Chain A
Amino acid sequence: MIPQEIADSIKAKFPDAILDVKLDGAIDPFAKIAADRIKDVARFMRDDEKLAFDSLMCLSGVDYTGGKLGVVYNLASMKWGHKFTLKVDVTVENPHVQSVESVWKTADWHEREAFDVIGIVFDGHPDLRRILLPDDWEGHPLRKDYKVPEYYLGMKVPY
């Protein structure tokens, strides 16, 4: 399916969940989805016969600066060979996104990573804790306003 058809079929099923669609001018065409509907949309996209997005290639957390955070889902269908991108935007004050761990298990560790480095909270994730950094780390290092700490647990970091 071409990106236009994919966007149309999501729109037909979830008219209120799609906030924006950008097909031309973007290298990877994408649709913006509401943060509290992403799980339903993801499940539909995986299970629908025509879409069959059976693989979540990548899940990235992004800090867009200015108090805006986002999650980018790069999807592909092994069955049909087409790709599509979903984006969810949230704010720093309310960084809650529905977890898609129950749809694609790939999301399990990727969501933990996005929580770890960007600070996005995935509601419904069964085991949301830090994955790359130590459990007692403070802050989220890939936030653009992150200050590299001079001390770790009272010890001066020598560099």
Chain B
Amino acid sequence: MEAVLTATDIKTQHPITVPGFPRPLKEQEMVINMGPQHPSTHGVLRLELILDGEIVVDVIPHIGYLHRCYEKHCEHMTNYQQVVPYCSRMDYVAALSNELGYAIACEKLLKIKVPERVEYIRVIMAELQRIANHLIAIGTYGLDMGAFTPFLYCFRDRERSLDIFEQTCGARLLYNYVWIGGLSHDVPPDFQQKTKDFCKYFRPTIKELNDLLSYNKIFIKRTADVGVLPAEVAINYGASGPMLRGSGVKWDLRKNDPYSIYDRFDWDIPVGTGRMGTVGDCWDRYMVRVHEMEQSLNIIEQAADKLPAGDVQSAIPKRIRPDAADLYVRTETPKGELGYYIMSDGTTSPFRVKVKSPCFVNLSVLPAVCRGSMIADVVAVLGSIDIVLGEIDR
């Protein structure tokens, strides 16, 4: 590959001069607001861009436009179970993963052991949710980069996975499916067959997606070597999920700090390798998501084969009243490490619930990545983070 010039190189090599004028033209920094209604900010996010021509000097994200007082609501609920629908509404494109994290935290607080069947169904559903989330992330990322067709293909496939959700719990987006100690409904009788059919259908379409977008020359030119995030910076900022793995760190809570029954399945953690440019660039982060969908299919197939019989509501407690305690539980959602810090004071409603949102932390890396890049690359970097403002603002 030819040597890649950074934006600063271009500027020093090509000062703006006017014939007959003794010195290069005087330049001044400019402040531009990107958002809060910009289509590529994926929601209501305002980025205050400080620009030197086309070069980004600094980015200041302003969040909070979608703040719905989640934590305040939690404290005002009359019981722990009522919090679950609010969890769905944080990361609304991966609602089930949020509910799962909250349920696991409460079960640990109450010392409940959930039945095997519940664990298996939860894993299958969480991985289907991961695929649905990554399809949105990939589709809209293509859209950001100017490729419209892959977006439609992704949504076509996402509908298939949402059909399974709809048959199971009636909802397509906000499920309220994972309850503390169990599930709201048992799965329909043909659930195993349906999920296996989905896996069989979906595996070839990943190749189709790769041909269409991943190895598209224009897409690679737009994303490779752009927004490079070194591993040590990612760790210090607390980045997680595909953002961290894209930087080459083999870290996935499903393997490194296993919860539920993830330690029973055979699968790999995909990491960024710098195949098209540098390790930790936008293409790596994108590609980690594509590979993760394949690994999710592996998990779903294994879990669907072993799905045991049983009652999914046998462990749901009649009255949820944990002892006074506090704990922090983290799970791997499609976006990264979602943590719940829950503090109970011995009553029936939580005393304090604090959510560590993966997008919140991943977005805070944006200024560090974008400084010195071109303004058009801010869109590429922002899309590769895969943010959902509902979760950042809560």
Chain A bound to chain B: yes
Which chain B residues lie closer than 8 Å to A56 at the CB level? Answer: 238
Say whether B99 faces chain A, with CB atoms less than 8 Å apart: no
**Known A-B contacts A28-B327, A28-B328, A108-B364; A55 and B67 likewise in contact (beta carbons under 8 Å):** no
Q: Are the CB atoms of B71 and A104 closer together than 8 Å?
A: no
**Known A-B contacts A58-B339, A105-B236, A108-B364; A27 and B325 likewise in contact (beta carbons under 8 Å):** yes
Say whether B360 faces chain A, with CB atoms less than 8 Å apart: yes
Q: Are the CB atoms of A133 and B64 closer together than 8 Å?
A: yes
Report the Cα distance A131→B360, complex, angstroms.
Answer: 11
- Contact among A55, A131, A141 for B235, CB-based, below 8 A: A55
Which chain B residues lie closer than 8 Å to A110 at the CB level? Answer: 356
Q: Contact string, B349-367, partner A, CB cutoff 8 A, digits 1/0?
A: 0001010100011001000
Q: Are the CB atoms of A57 and B337 closer together than 8 Å?
A: yes
Q: Are the CB atoms of A131 and B238 closer together than 8 Å?
A: no
- Contact among A54, A60, A109 for B341, CB-based, below 8 A: A60
Which chain A residues lie closer than 8 Å to B197 at the CB level? Answer: none
Say whether B263 faces chain A, with CB atoms less than 8 Å apart: no
Which chain A residues lie closer than 8 Å to B75 at the CB level? Answer: 142
Q: Are the CB atoms of B72 and A58 closer together than 8 Å?
A: no
Which chain A residues lie closer than 8 Å to B67 at the CB level? Answer: 132-133
**Known A-B contacts A57-B328, A62-B352, A74-B328; A106 and B63 likewise in contact (beta carbons under 8 Å):** no
* Nearest B-chain residue to A62, judged by Cβ: B352
Interface size on B, residues (CB 8 A): 35
- Contact among B64, B72, B256, B356 for A131, CB-based, below 8 A: B64
- Contact among A61, A62, A81 for B257, CB-based, below 8 A: A81
Say whether A26 faces chain B, with CB atoms less than 8 Å apart: yes
Nearest chain B CB to A78 CB, angstrom units: 6
Say whether A134 faces chain B, with CB atoms less than 8 Å apart: yes
Q: Are the CB atoms of A134 and B364 closer together than 8 Å?
A: no
Q: Contact string, B37-48, partner A, CB cutoff 8 A, digits 1/0?
A: 000000000000
- Contact among A72, A78, A141 for B326, CB-based, below 8 A: A72
* Nearest B-chain residue to A75, judged by Cβ: B328
Give the bracket for the number of chain A residues in contact with chain B. Answer: 20 to 34
**Known A-B contacts A27-B326, A141-B72; A57 and B339 likewise in contact (beta carbons under 8 Å):** yes
Say whether B108 faces chain A, with CB atoms less than 8 Å apart: yes
Say whether A99 faces chain B, with CB atoms less than 8 Å apart: no
Say whether B84 faces chain A, with CB atoms less than 8 Å apart: no
Report the Cα distance A56→B109, complex, angstroms.
Answer: 22
Say whether B343 faces chain A, with CB atoms less than 8 Å apart: yes
Report the Cα distance A50→B337, complex, angstroms.
Answer: 24
Q: Are the CB atoms of A60 and B236 closer together than 8 Å?
A: no
* Nearest A-chain residue to B352, judged by Cβ: A62
Nearest chain A CB to B212 CB, angstrom units: 35
Report the Cα distance A126→B206, complex, angstroms.
Answer: 45
* Nearest A-chain residue to B353, judged by Cβ: A60
Which chain B residues lie closer than 8 Å to A104 at the CB level? Answer: 236, 238
Nearest chain B CB to A140 CB, angstrom units: 11
Q: Are the CB atoms of A132 and B64 closer together than 8 Å?
A: yes
Report the Cα distance A109→B63, complex, angstroms.
Answer: 11
Q: Are the CB atoms of A117 and B71 closer together than 8 Å?
A: yes
Which chain B residues lie closer than 8 Å to A28 at the CB level? Answer: 326-328
Which chain B residues lie closer than 8 Å to A26 at the CB level? Answer: 325-326
Q: Contact string, B249-279, partner A, CB cutoff 8 A, digits 1/0?
A: 1010000110000000000000000000000
What 3 pairs between A and B have smallest CB-CB spacing? Answer: A106-B238, A60-B354, A58-B356
Known contacts A26-B326, A108-B364; 14 further A-B pairs (Cβ under 8 A): A27-B108, A57-B238, A57-B337, A58-B328, A58-B341, A78-B251, A104-B238, A131-B64, A132-B63, A132-B393, A132-B394, A133-B64, A142-B72, A142-B352
13 A-B interface contacts by CB (under 8 A): A55-B238, A57-B356, A58-B341, A58-B356, A60-B354, A63-B352, A105-B364, A109-B360, A133-B64, A133-B67, A141-B69, A142-B71, A142-B75
Interface residue ranges, B against A (CB under 8 Å): 63-64, 67, 69, 71-72, 75, 108-109, 235-238, 249, 251, 256-257, 325-328, 330, 337, 339, 341, 343, 352, 354, 356, 360-361, 364, 368, 393-394
